[in-house]
Structure 1
Amino acid sequence: MPTPAHKGNTLKFTPKELIALGIFTAVYTVIYMAFNMLGAVAPILQLVGATLAALLNGITFMLFLTRVRHAGLITLMALLLGILVTIAGHHPISIVTALVAGIAADVIASRGGYRATVPTVVAYGVFNLWVSGGYLPLLFMRDSVLSEYRRQMGDQWADAFNALFSPAVIILLIIGTVVVGMIGGWIGRRALSKHFERAGLA
């Protein structure tokens, strides 16, 4: 697919870009929340839900990039996601991790004009690190987090969560987030070229 000319790395967004930001952030959030609700059934399903959400949202992210012409929109999407999950109950560090992941993804995607396959796939992998804010508190305030889970979900659920999400698993999970994200990005690119572009939607 040819790479359209990019308008540069300015932060002057168009109304269409801001509308696209709102729409695709909403779609991303609905998919993320829907799959993560599986975790309420059993902690192991949290991993399954997070993986499925990251894979499916690869399509959401790649469609979003077809509307991006200026640097900063990926960062804004990540920041909005961080704020939304913080409002929903995550630790405020989620805002920090989202901002860092968003900036890094923005820089990477911009190297290919927000259109080239490899930079956008890698960018989505890095973008997915925004979710690490939900896991990092388990490394430095574990007792407090588990106490809250016991209050909300009950002892059995909290014990299963504690056994599954050891510090070593948390670190591997954060690394795996990037890998799964890149797979999701590749799926998104394939869907873009096979279906959405042919249908004139991208």
Structure 2
Amino acid sequence: MTVESVTYNRITSPRNLINVGVFTAVYFVVLFAGGMLGILNPVMVLLGALAGTVVNAMVCMLYVAKTRALGAYTLLGLVIGLLMVATGHAWVTPILSTGLGLLADLITRAGGYTRTSTNALGFAVFSVWCVGPVLPVLWGSEEYFADMARRMGQDYADTFRELATPAVIGGWVVLVFLVAFGCALVGVRVLHKHFERAGVA
């Protein structure tokens, strides 16, 4: 299928609004499950986000295939960002997740929602939003770690302080991007092989 032959949909159609609700819920459940690994150890905060990215690659590839509409990632990012703030994370998170969602929308639309490279790149760009909750480390670390100590204990906060250096956070963002891109490539192939044949996508 060529980019020119793709039929674009409206994100505000009833069907797509349902898709936004369903896939946002699934995305958040996967994200929450990965985030829960952080209870075990501060290192798992970062590894849990990576695990969630791996699973959500397939979720988002199916989401893009089902909606094929500008605004899909933007709405996903907005809702997820607001949910993160509601669960105690940094205020900057919805700004970052919504902005990257818009950029991901533009990338996937440029490929007509069918080009493997742009679908994978859109997801990879969007996935970088997960740095939002830890960004306060860069400008308000004392308050951030004091709050973490109240919630998780002083030892946990001290360990995370040693881990969450700007260099580590920067490297982690790059790793998230690469893992997201690679998993999305696999997700597109799985989508073509199984879901499209079954008429799901």
TM-score tier (shorter):
over 0.9
Q: Which amino acid aligns with 1:24?
A: F
2:43 and 2:117 map into 1 onto residues whose CA distance is: 31
1:12 and 1:47 map into 2 onto residues whose CA distance is: 32
Give the match for residue 33 of structure 1: 32
Give the match for residue 6 of structure 2: 5
1:41-76 deviations in Å (ceiling 9; x for gaps): 101112221111101100000010112232112111
Q: Which structure 1 residue ranges, 5 or more long, are not aligned? A: none
Q: Which structure 2 residue ranges, 5 or more long, are not aligned? A: none
1:70 and 1:59 map into 2 onto residues whose CA distance is: 18
| Residues 118-197 of structure 1: pairs in structure 2 closer than 5 A | 118-197=117-196
1:76-128 deviations in Å (ceiling 9; x for gaps): 11111111111111111001101111111011001011121110000000010
Give the match for residue 201 of structure 1: 200
Give 1:12 deviation, angstroms.
5.7
1:6 and 1:181 map into 2 onto residues whose CA distance is: 26
Give the match for residue 83 of structure 1: 82
Secondary structure at 2:67's aligned position in 1? coil
Give 1:129 deviation, angstroms.
1.7
Q: Over aligned residues, Cα RMSD in angstroms?
A: 1.6
1:143 and 1:106 map into 2 onto residues whose CA distance is: 36
Identity %: 34
Q: Which amino acid aligns with 1:131?
A: C
2:174 and 2:68 map into 1 onto residues whose CA distance is: 29
Give 1:177 deviation, angstroms.
2.0
Aligned length in residues? 200
2:2 and 2:112 map into 1 onto residues whose CA distance is: 11
TM-score normalised per structure 2: 0.94
TM-score normalised per structure 1: 0.93
1:44 and 1:190 map into 2 onto residues whose CA distance is: 31
1:148-199 deviations in Å (ceiling 9; x for gaps): 0100000111111111111211121222221121122112112212222232
RCO higher in 1 or 2 (8 Å CA, sep ≥ 6)?
1
Distance 1:169 1:12, change over 3 A: closer
1:73 and 1:51 map into 2 onto residues whose CA distance is: 22
1:169 and 1:75 map into 2 onto residues whose CA distance is: 28
Give the match for residue 117 of structure 1: 116
Give the match for residue 48 of structure 2: 49
Secondary structure at 1:67's aligned position in 2? helix
8 Å contact kept, 2:77–2:100:
yes
Distance 1:41 1:12, change over 3 A: closer
1:98 aligns with 2:94: no
